[in-house]
Amino acid sequence: MKRTTLLLLILVFSICSLTKSQQLNLMPWPSELKVGEGQFVINKNLRIGVDGNPDKRFHPNLVRFIQQLSKRTTIPFDRDSVLTSSSTASMMIKINRSGIVKLGEDESYILKVETGKITLSSETELGAMHGLQTLLQMLDRNKDFFYFPCLEIIDKPRFAWRGLMIDACRHFIPLEVIKHNIDAMAAVKMNVFHWHLSEDQGFRVESKVFPKLHQLGSNGEYYTQIQIKEVIAYANERGIRVMPEFDIPGHATAWMVGYPELASAAGTYKVEKFFGVFDPTIDPTNKETYKFFEKFFKEMAQLFPEEYMHIGGDENNGVQWDKNTKIQEFMKKNGIKSNHELQAYFNGNLLKILQKNGKIMIGWDEIFQPTLPKTIVIHSWRGRESMEESARKGYQSVLSNGYYIDLFHNCSEHYLNDPLPADSKLNTEEKSRILGGEATMWAELVTGESVDSRIWPRTAAIAERLWSPATVKDVDDMYRRLDAVNLLLEETGIQHIKNREAMMRRLCNGYYIEPLRVLADAVEPLEGYDRHGSQRYTTEFPLSRVADVALSDAPDFVRFRLCFNDYLKTKNRDSYSKMMEYLDKWSNNQQEFYALASNNVALKEALPLSDNLAELANVTRKLMIQFNSGIKNSAAETNAIRIQIEKLNKPVAEMELPLFKFTLDLVGKLRNGEKEE
Ligand code: ACM
């Protein structure tokens, strides 16, 4: 064979493999993947054998895998014969040793799918469990059968700490919701569930030692110790650590409802209804405070086996400390020059208590104080700089800045937020101190009903950032895969799609919701803290308006943009036609939505948004036709269009149109070269 022919063949082969692997809907994307030829066909003769020494948690995971495979393929596997001896197995799982659910445990696996044979091998069952999730994501079908495509994967996490925090305080999050979120985490290979359990708005754990904490501090909504143990066992079986957070000394009003003596100001306290930063702060100068925490953390250390204990530490405004003469005298006497130093003194005392109970202390940025030993871990929420600063000073850290999923940002922003970007100035040793990251679901604007649709699917993209190699960062490919993984996530029990539909039925007061769905799939809630700008939310708001069914990445708009990007790259006519279909759908929806909403007080507030969407879609359609034919606009024409669309950019009922920015960009692309007047 001539050299050029060979090169050409290699090139064609690599393009084919690339195209094929890009069609796989894996998330997180594996560290190494080689696409093969052919398929492993799934039929009732599937036989799975397990060799080696897995922990007992592997068996229920394997059973769930088979059940899920059975549901999806509709094949009724015979339970007695699927699990078999290794000699007759078509799918062989080899696990070297029993794993421990703790930071840094080996989670790697190797998966080889060949025609007629699957081999999954790993050091611990935690790796094999990830491999099973990968297989479930790979499942495909044609008109005759279900199959796994042949391939070889060598996979391991980039970061050891891949977490999701759920704030169960500002709104109580029911136990079942917590549990199915743990299943969804496992589906995307996350391994830390950070449970935010105390706040101004609620103390959410039963304490037998200090029962007034949950009895008076929770409005009756808390987890019993039996429930907590149930969640810990549930998570452990899925390879997930459960780290509690008790946020002190600030964000602590709920503690003081039952135990006002903990506060730095005398008085009676009520569970807070509003959101923000409040004055009630633990008194760090009172010896009784530490006697209280000695007993409290002993109880909680026994309840939560996880070795890390999160003590919060954020946003202490110092108001009660400044006003308390006894505290001021204590500071003077002990040479404590600032509230930050006083908080470090408090943390130092807490640290001793935690260490006595075998725990490692972790807290938000504010606990960082060079007087504290290097064993504490900094959880960075205020900025990457503070995380890097602590890494330079010798502290380990976890990143949440950039992963605030409560703020309704687009998924791409979180996805591109790398704890260790390519241009990081940290040296190798400092880099090794960055343990990973956590998506943070603060609960001002979510309830048990809506929380899943705020966490997912965006958290799957964060899971990929924390698991996959840094070079995996093609945003369009992420959105394409996310759309598919989103649907699979439903099988874990999360209610992100179901509950949203139910909320829409409630808003429509009937079964027919299509016009609302079309609108809701094209609009987004206001980002950042902007939703709080229109009214002062409290814990009592039902969060059941149209804005509460709008998603941070409007799904139809995301699909529309993917079509546009594909059209830009390939001039694919299909993509162009699909875009036009979306634009038609949005403009045609105006009348339908009017018919549904004009006489419905719950929907009426969204009417102007529907009108704006229709007008913007009409403008965009014209511009697309122009773009397709290469006709440019003069500066004056460009200005006129900008003025026309600018008025469609006003927030309506705490929502906005992502199409606006797209159209504005398109207007820019269509401008001819002449100077603007
Ligand atoms: C925080 O967001 N205050 C940790």
Please write the tens of the pLDDT for every residue from 71-96: 999 999 988 889 998 889 999 999 99
Looking from the CA of residue 315, the nearest atom of ligand 1 is 3
pLDDT over threshold 80, residue 647: yes
Ligand 1 centroid – CA 381 distance (Å): 6
pLDDT for 674 equals 61
How does the average pLDDT of the chain come out, rounded? 95
pLDDT over threshold 80, residue 18: no
Indicate whether this model's pTM tops 0.85. yes
pLDDT for 351 equals 98
User: What is the tens place of the pLDDT at every residue in 437-446?
Assistant: 999 999 999 9
Domain boundary assignment for the chain = 13-155, 162-382+412-425+444-498, 505-669
Looking from the CA of residue 442, the nearest atom of ligand 1 is 2
Looking from the CA of residue 312, the nearest atom of ligand 1 is 4
Q: Are 451 and 166 in contact (CB under 8 A)?
A: yes
User: What is the tens place of the pLDDT at every residue in 168-198?
Assistant: 999 999 999 999 999 999 999 999 999 999 9
> The domain 13-155: what is its CATH number?
3.30.379.10
User: What is the tens place of the pLDDT at every residue in 571-605?
Assistant: 999 999 999 999 999 999 999 999 999 999 999 99
pLDDT over threshold 50, residue 131: yes
Task: Read off the DSSP letter of residue 238.
Answer: T
- Does residue 317's CB lie within 6 angstroms of at least one atom of ligand 1? no
Looking from the CA of residue 379, the nearest atom of ligand 1 is 4
Q: Give the residue, out of 198, 442, 444, 529, with the most ligand 1 atoms within 8 A of its beta carbon, to mutate for a pocket test.
A: 442
pLDDT for 80 equals 84
Ligand 1 centroid – CA 636 distance (Å): 47
Both structure tokens of 396: 């380990």
pLDDT for 79 equals 81
Both structure tokens of 391: 């890494």
- Does residue 382's CB lie within 6 angstroms of at least one atom of ligand 1? no
Q: Using a pLDDT cut of 70, give the percent of the chain over it.
A: 96
Name the pLDDT band for 662 (thresholds 50, 70, 90). very high
pLDDT over threshold 70, residue 427: yes
- Does residue 381's CB lie within 6 angstroms of at least one atom of ligand 1? yes
- Does residue 364's CB lie within 6 angstroms of at least one atom of ligand 1? yes
Name the pLDDT band for 19 (thresholds 50, 70, 90). very low
The closest alpha carbon to 126, from 162, 92, 90, 101, belongs to 101
Ligand 1 centroid – CA 241 distance (Å): 21
Looking from the CA of residue 381, the nearest atom of ligand 1 is 4
- Does residue 106's CB lie within 6 angstroms of at least one atom of ligand 1? no
Ligand 1 centroid – CA 201 distance (Å): 14
pLDDT over threshold 60, residue 14: no
User: What is the tens place of the pLDDT at every residue in 448-483?
Assistant: 999 999 999 999 999 999 999 999 999 999 999 999
Topology at the third CATH level for domain 162-382+412-425+444-498: TIM Barrel (3.20.20)
Mean pLDDT of 514-533: 97
- Does residue 403's CB lie within 6 angstroms of at least one atom of ligand 1? no
Ligand 1 centroid – CA 12 distance (Å): 51
From residue 596, alpha-carbon distances to 337, 547, 615 in Å are: 63, 17, 19
Q: Are 110 and 155 in contact (CB under 8 A)?
A: yes
pLDDT for 66 equals 97
Ligand 1 centroid – CA 404 distance (Å): 9
pLDDT for 81 equals 87
User: What is the tens place of the pLDDT at every residue in 232-273?
Assistant: 999 999 999 999 999 999 999 999 999 999 999 999 999 999
pLDDT for 534 equals 85
DSSP letter string, 346-412 = HHHHHHHHHHHTT-EEEEEGGG--TTS-TTSEEEE-S-HHHHHHHHHTT-EEEE-TT-BGGG---HH
Burial of 176 (0-12, 13-18, 19+ CB in 10 A): exposed
Q: Give the residue, out of 194, 314, 367, 405, with the most ligand 1 atoms within 8 A of its beta carbon, to mutate for a pocket test.
A: 314
Mean pLDDT of 117-125: 98
Closest residue CA from atom 2 of ligand 1? 381
DSSP letter string, 69-124 = HHHHHT----HHHHEE-GGG-SEEEEEEE----STT----EEEEEETTEEEEEEEE
Active-site positions read 315
Name the pLDDT band for 20 (thresholds 50, 70, 90). very low
Both structure tokens of 666: 């398109």
Closest residue CA from atom 3 of ligand 1? 314
pLDDT for 17 equals 42
User: What is the tens place of the pLDDT at every residue in 293-318?
Assistant: 999 999 999 999 999 999 999 999 99
User: Tokens 């022919």 belong to which residue?
Assistant: 5
pLDDT over threshold 50, residue 7: no
Q: Are 108 and 94 in contact (CB under 8 A)?
A: no
